[in-house]
Amino acid sequence: MATFSDEQKLPGPIYVYQIPVRIWHWLHALSIGALIVTGYFIASPLPSVSGEASDHFVMGTLRLVHFSSAFVFAIGLFVRFYLALTGNRYARELIIVPVWRGKFWRHVWHEIKFYAFVTRKARKNIGHNPLAQLFMWMINIALALFMVCTGFALYSQGTGAGSWADSLFGWVFVLEASSQTVRMWHLMGMWLMLLFIIIHIYMVIRADFASRQNGTSAMISGWRTFKDDGPIKPQ
C-alpha cells in the first residue's frame, strides 16, 4: 500500500481497519469492561449475602467471569500480534511506534498543540494520530502485558505450584515477593485502564466533531473517511 506525502490529496475513503482487527477491538473492549467490573468487586466485594453458603456463588462467579475474560483478553492480545504481522500497515501501528523518527515526534508535538487549542490547524490522520498511537502502545501493549503477567501470576496462586500459570508467570514473584503488592499493582493497572477508556472514548467522539476525519464509524465499517479533500498537511 502506498504511503501518502504531506502535500498529497487523498483519493477518498481509505480502508484502514480490516475485519479481524475490528473483531479484536470489540472483543478486547468487552473483555476489558468485564475485567474492570469483576476485578473491582474482587478487590472490594459486594455486600454479604445471607443463607447457606451452598446456595450462593457470588464471589466464585465474579472470579469465574474475571478469569474467563482474562483469557479472552490475553489470547486476544496474542492474536493481535499475529494480526500485526499479517494485516495491512495500519494493523502494525499499535505494535510498532516509529519513535526513532524525528517526523513522528514533530507530528506528536503538532497533535499536542492541536489538543491544547494552541493551533486550529488539524492534520489528516489515516490510521492513528501520532499522539494517540503513542498512548495506544503504552496502554494496549505495555499496560496490557503488565496486566497479563501480574494477572496470570495471581491466577497461578490458585492453580498452584507447578501449574502452567506458575511456570510461565511465577517469575513475577521473584521481582516482587509480596503477592499482596502484586495484587495492588494489578488493581492500580485496572484504574489506569479505566482512565484510558474515559479518554479514548472521549477522543474518538471528539474526532467525529472536531477533526478532519471520522472516528467511531471507522472501527465499525473499517473505512476512514475525510471531511475535506485537502492534503494531509493543514493549509
Partner 1 sequence: MSAHETFYEVMRRHGITRRSFLKFCSLTAAGLGLGPEFAGRIAHALETKPRTPVIWLHGLECTCCTESFIRSGNPLAGDVVLSMISLDYDDTLMAAAGHQAEELLQQTVEKYDGEFILACEGNPPLNEDGMYCIQAGKPYVEKLRYMADHCKAIIAWGSCASWGCVQAAKPNPTKAMPIHKVILDKPVIKVPGCPPIAEVMTGVITYMLAFDRLPPLDRQGRPKMFYGQRLHDKCYRRPHFDAGQFVEKFDDEGARKGYCLYKMGCKGPTTYNACSTIEWNGGLSWPVKSGHGCLGCAEEDFWDKGSFYSPVSNLNVTGNVEATANKIGGTLAAAAAIGVAAHAAATVVQKVTAKKPPVSEEVSNG
Judged by phi (left if over 0) then psi (alpha if -120 to 50, else beta), residue 13 lies in beta
d(CA 72, CA 28): 7
Q: Which is nearer to partner 1, 95 or 192 (CB)?
A: 192
Shortest separation between residue 150's beta carbon and partner 1, angstroms: 12
Residues in contact with 97: Cβ distance below 8 Å, sequence separation at least 6, in sequence order: 104, 133, 134, 137
What's the closest the beta carbon of residue 75 comes to partner 1, in angstroms?
Answer: 26
Least distance to partner 1 from the beta carbon of 169, Å? 11
Shorter beta-carbon distance to partner 1: residue 2 or 85: 2
Cell of 141: 501493549
Q: From the CB of 93, what's the least distance to partner 1, in Å?
A: 22
CA dihedral sign of residues 33, 41, 195, 79: negative
CA–CA distance, 93 with 133 (Å, rounded to integer):
7
Asked whether 224 and 2 are in contact (CB, 8 A), the reply is no
Q: How far is the CB of 56 from partner 1 (least distance, A)?
A: 4
Site for partner 1, rule CB under 8 A? 10, 12-13, 43-50, 53-60, 62, 115, 117, 120-122, 157-158, 160-161, 170-171, 173-174, 177-181, 183-185, 187-188, 190-192, 194-195, 198-199, 202, 206, 209-210, 212, 225-230, 234-235
Rank residues 2 and 177 by Cβ distance to partner 1 and give the closer one.
177
* Distance between CA atoms of residues 206 and 215, nearest Å: 8
Nearer to partner 1, 23 or 192 (CB): 192
Closest contact distance (angstroms) between CB of 45 and partner 1 is 6
Whichever of 1 and 53 has its CB closer to partner 1, that residue is 53
Helix (H) / strand (E) element for 39: namely helix 19-43
DSSP 143: I
Q: How far is the CB of 18 from partner 1 (least distance, A)?
A: 22
Phi-psi region of 231 (alpha: psi -120 to 50; beta: other; left: phi over 0): beta
Quick one: which H or E segment has residue 175? helix 172-175
